Each structure stands twice: as structure tokens, then as C-alpha cells.
Amino acid sequence: MTKTTGTDPLPDRLRRAVATGQAGLHRTWQHAVLTALLVVLLIPAALLVAPGFIGPEPPAPAPPVPAWQQAPASLSGGQGLSDLDPSAVVPSRESVTAQVEAVLKADGGGTFTGMVQDALTGQVLFDRGGAEGRVPASNLKLLTAVAALRSLGPNHRFRTQVAAGPAAGQVVLAGGGDVLLGAGESADGQVMGHAGLATLAARTIEALLASGVTGELKVLLDDSLFSGPPLNPAWQEGDVAAGEVAPLFPLAMNSARFNAAVTAGPRPQDAAMAAAEEFAFRLRTAGAAAGLTVAAGVERSPGAAQAGGDADRTVLAEVESATVAEQVNLMLQASDNYLAETLGRMAAVAAGGPGSNDGATATVRAQLNEAGIPADAMTLIDVCGLAMGNQVSARQFTEVVRAITSGPDPALREALDGFPVAGLTGTLDTRYGDGSTEAGAGLVRAKTGTLNTVLALSGYVVDADGRLLVFSFIGNGLTPGAAGNRTALDRAATALAGCGCR
């Protein structure tokens, strides 16, 4: 046992604990003093440094920008026009002309013609050779859009059918105008691939089993809905070889592309047979589990296509395309030549004419005349704009855009979503990015047109005063590859977007 003395009343263990506590208290007091000192020193330093993190005081709010002048942060499902105030000020012709003339200049050779009109009244605000026929390039697709919407109707769908063949064990795949078929299952929410060959094959097998068919099947192809040469002789061989267009048939996959995701390069030269062979493959796959086999190879059937109708043909299965309105918008956004030519032929068939190039051009002209847009002076060699022999004036294009944006036919309003939006969508997605045109980004909506010596831009814009303006600018004989020509078009449209031209 440890002995304690009178001079040391605390046990050693307790003494050590007290000593430790005193030392800790002493250190704690020192820390408190240091902490307080640091706080005193840091407060002014923080006040000096803080603005670097939180920034200066916000400036006074800017005046509100009109809704029609606000570039969208994201794209809505529909990009049509909201109601506009008809009392908004119409810009003066002198001011509009001065602004457009200052920027619509050719870079090198060639010339630009153009016209700007007030959409509601038709008042001409700029006119440089607006009545002169010009090679329009893909702006011609605007005319095809009007014809398709009027002749077919915006809600019409094309049917791809499978019918019983003329002999036992035969099935006939009949093209009905859908060239956006997908290889797989039907995709209801899409335009490309809305109708799928795998779905059509599965439905065909179900129908065959229900009717007691057994054994081997033979696939026949009926693509007789279109007539005349499948290739327009006015198209240049180089354009066909490069995949700008391909021989026309009333059924195809991916708008006559090998792959929907690859929109450039060579196309299948027999898109109907390629689709039929894919259908035979899908039919073989679907029939295997049911004990049905499919013979190798596909042959063309001499029978009439479904549009004319073979009254004795028994339809086994069918799939439907996206609506005409949806296809028109895809055609305009992507500037798809194959789809444009198909829609033109289908418009001709719906109007009672032949599904040929001549039928398509005649139908486009007739539908424009019926819509109140004089078209007799036009020269139409095709309906996609690839032919250099086409002749359409800027005035005719502004009248077409007027009809779409504010004319009396509500069916034409369905084409509004097809106009590419500057800097955001379609063939305008990479334009309007420099300092001279960025003010038009999100505001200008226009169809582009591009050939080797041709550039065109036709569309609409709501100006700074809330007035809807339509325009068309067409350059012919331009120096190939001169970058300033496209910029000139975009600057002219941007000038209209920012116009408070009173």
C-alpha cells in the first residue's frame, strides 16, 4: 500500500489527473484567445475577398424583351406561330430595303434576287427582281409540301400491305408510298420507322396460321404504284452516285438509305427490292417457331398495287406510316430529296394522276393554282429541287410562305414545324453562329437550298415590333464555295428579325 504524507494530501493518481486538467485548461484558454484574435483579423479580410466569390451587386434589370424576340432555351414539340397582334406596326419599305440591300451581296460572281412581304397584308417591303424566275434548289420542297398537304391531307397515312399471292404459298408485299419503313418493330412515336417490317412479318404469320397455311412461303414484290422512269433524266449522274437521290419506288427503308443514321453517301439502287428482302428475312424469322419456311429470293409480281386495287386480293396484314404532315416536316427539316419526290408522286396518285415525275410536277402546279398561288409561269423539272432546269421566282416563294403561315387553308399550317430554326434545327442548325448573324438565331425560320452555284433561303420571321414578315432570297450563278454568299443570306434574314423599321 502506498503511504501518503501530510504535505501531499492527494493520491498520486488524483494529483496526476488534476495536473493534466490544469494543463488542458491552460491550453484551452490559449486556444480561445488565439481564435478570438484570428476572428478579429479575418473579418475585414473576408469583406475584401468576398466580392470575388459572390460577385458585385446585380445591375438593374433590363427592360423586358418581347416574347417573339426571345431565343428559346429549348425546343418545344411544335414550333408553329402563336397568335400575333394584327395592329403591330408594318415596317416601312424604305427602311427594310435599306437594311437588306446593305447585306445581300454576292461574294464573287452571280446575283441575288429577293422579296420581303408583310404576311398579313401582302404589302411588298423589299423587291429585287422578285418576279424573275430562278433556279431555287431545295426551296422547291416548299411547293411540294403545299401540294402534299392539300392533295393527300395532313392526317393521311400510307399503308404497306401483305396479301395472299396468285398461287398457294405465295404472299405479295405491296408498296403504298411509305419509304420510311424500319427493319424492326414499328415505332409509333417516330416518323422514320413508324411502320416496321418485323411487325408486318409477325402479323402476316399470325394471319397465315389462322387460315391454316403450312409449308413453304414465297415472297413476291408489288411496286407498281409508281410509273415512268425511276430516275429523272435531268438529275446529274454525280448527284445520284453521291446519294443525293436514288431510283424512286413506292416502298423503301430509311428513305432509301442503308442505315437511318447515315444520311450521306451512296443509296441502294433498288430500294423496293432491298425492303422486300428484309421483309422475307423477318418473315423467315417469325415463321420458324410456327413451322413455316420462306423460300430464298424475292420476285416481282406483275399484279396491281394496292392503290389501284386488286379486288380479288386478300389482305393478310398491313402497317401504316407516320402522317403526311409529319413526313412533310421531316422532308423540310432534313431537305430529303427522296422523300420529296415520293410525296410528290403520292400527291399525284391521290389527285387521280399517274405516280410519275410528270404526274408529280403537274399536281404541284395544279395544287398551287388552286391555293391562289399563280404557278403557270413556273418551270418544274422535278419536285425536290435537284434539277438545274427548275425556275421559280422569289415572289412565288413568299406567296407560298404566306399561304403556310397566314393563309386561309388550315391544312397548310401543318408545315410550320418543318421550317428549320436558325442555329438550332435541321439544315440551319450550324448556321447563325457568328457576330453578324447570331441575333437571328432562334428567330429566323427558313427552308434552305444549296446546289453548286445556287443558294436560297425562304421563310418567315417576327420582327422587333411583332410583325410577321415572309421572305425569299435566291442566288444564282454564284462562285462555288464562296463562304460569303451563305453569310449574306443569313445576314439579310437577321436584319429582318431585328427590324423595328418604321
- Give phi and psi for 478, each to the nearest 5: -75, 155
- Copy the grid coordinates of residue 199: 411487325
Q: Which residue has the cell 428559346?
A: 72
- Copy the grid coordinates of residue 293: 419456311
Distance CA 482, CA 344 (A): 32
Annotated active-site residue in 301, 335, 356, 406: 335
**Is 227 designated active site?**
no
Distance CA 246, CA 358 (A): 17
* CA end-to-end span of the chain: 111
Alpha helical stretches, state H, 65-219: 93-101, 141-151, 197-210
For the chain, helix, strand, coil in percent to 5 are: 40, 15, 45
**Is 458 designated active site?**
no
Distance CA 158, CA 195 (A): 10
Distance CA 332, CA 329 (A): 5
Long-range Cβ contact pairs of 156-159 (< 8 A, separation 24 or more): 156/323, 156/324, 156/350, 157/320, 157/321, 157/322, 157/323, 157/324, 158/320, 158/321, 158/346, 159/306, 159/318, 159/319, 159/320, 159/321
Q: How far from 471 is each of 111, 401, 445, CA to CA, in Å? A: 17, 8, 10
Distance of CA 67 to the CA centre of its chain: 23
Cα dihedral across residues 96, 101, 106, 111: positive or negative:
positive
- Beta strand 170-174 pairing with 159-164: antiparallel
Q: Which residue has the cell 418485323?
A: 198
Neighbours of 5 (CB within 10 A): 6
- Copy the grid coordinates of residue 285: 424469322
Catalytic residues: 138, 141, 335
